Amino acid sequence: MNTIIESVNNRIAFLKRAIRRAEKDKSSFPEGRLRTSRSNGRIRYYKVNKERDTSGEYMPKNEHMGMIKLLAQKDYNKHFLKSATDELEMLEKVLVRYQKKQSEAAYEGLSEERQNLVTSYIPSDDQIAEEWQSKTFKTNSYKTENKIYDTRRGEKVRSKSEAIIADMLFEMGIPYHYEYPLRLRNGKIKYPDFTLLKKRTGEVVYLEHFGFMDDENYRKDTLYKMDLYRANGIYPGKNLLFTYETNDNPLDIKGIRRMLKETML
């Protein structure tokens, strides 16, 4: 539900910006309107100045293209403002009605005592996240002896940096699994460092930490892994986040926190 409201609000904001641009242009157009006719496959352009004039003044294309474009833009401007304003009014009305009549309100409007007595037909974002978080799975069995770093959530990870990232996710309330199995299109199983759930949309996002970027072989493996993700429809900036560090560039904790806040919350 939050995703729908967010999408509608984004569309409203987009339309308002476009309407402001169109309104600003409105005062800069010349008098008259554009009339076109087609003869023998050629388009002719005419400037019509009087309302009842059905002919207008002929404008050769090679001499008056600037004026032709302005008059064409003027006509488009008029039709755009009408259709965009109609859409904006419709969306604003729908948004008000949707927010008032959302089905979730039937449950959310109950007292806590009543909520404890019933089962909601539409689970909340928190309920969905809780169910997702409670999934059991078989984690990566490769070199489990290397999982020696504790997280605040009580699990073991393979590096101090992964522990920092895990604690950051936990602190920010972002549901995550560590080394959750991912089945690729060829049937093989890979284990991303972190599998995250974007609560407000229900999207799954993967986060990989590249901790040894000084090492040439490690960099090659990293590029292979990125290619593998891309071949399976997992793209940086869409459903894949990554962090990295080198000897000269330690883990950017503030930057990672900002990235998570802007992409996951």
Question: Percent of the chain having pLDDT more than 90?
Answer: 77
Confidence of residue 2 (pLDDT cuts 50, 70, 90): low
pLDDT value for 51: 80
Other beta carbons within 10 Å of 208: 19
Residue 64 pLDDT > 80, yes or no?
A: yes
Confidence of residue 200 (pLDDT cuts 50, 70, 90): confident
The mean predicted confidence, pLDDT, of the chain is 92
Contact 52, 43 (CB under 8 A): no
Range 74-103 average pLDDT: 89
Token pair for residue 20?
């402001």
Give the pLDDT confidence of 138-166 residue by residue, as tens digits: 989 899 999 999 999 999 999 999 999 99
Confidence of residue 74 (pLDDT cuts 50, 70, 90): very high
Token pair for residue 200?
């407000």
Q: Where are the domains of the chain?
A: 2-108, 125-264
Convert 66-84 to b/e letters by CB count within 10 Å (16 or more is b). eebebbebbeebeebbeeb
Pick the CATH number of 125-264 from 3.40.1350, 3.30.420, 1.10.1740, 1.10.490: 3.40.1350
Confidence of residue 98 (pLDDT cuts 50, 70, 90): confident
Contact 40, 46 (CB under 8 A): no
- Report the C-alpha gap between 214 and 225 in whole angstroms: 17
| Contacts of residue 84, Cβ cutoff 8 Å, sequence gap at least 6 | 15, 18, 19, 22
pLDDT value for 1: 58
- Report the C-alpha gap between 233 and 219 in whole angstroms: 21
Contact 244, 231 (CB under 8 A): no
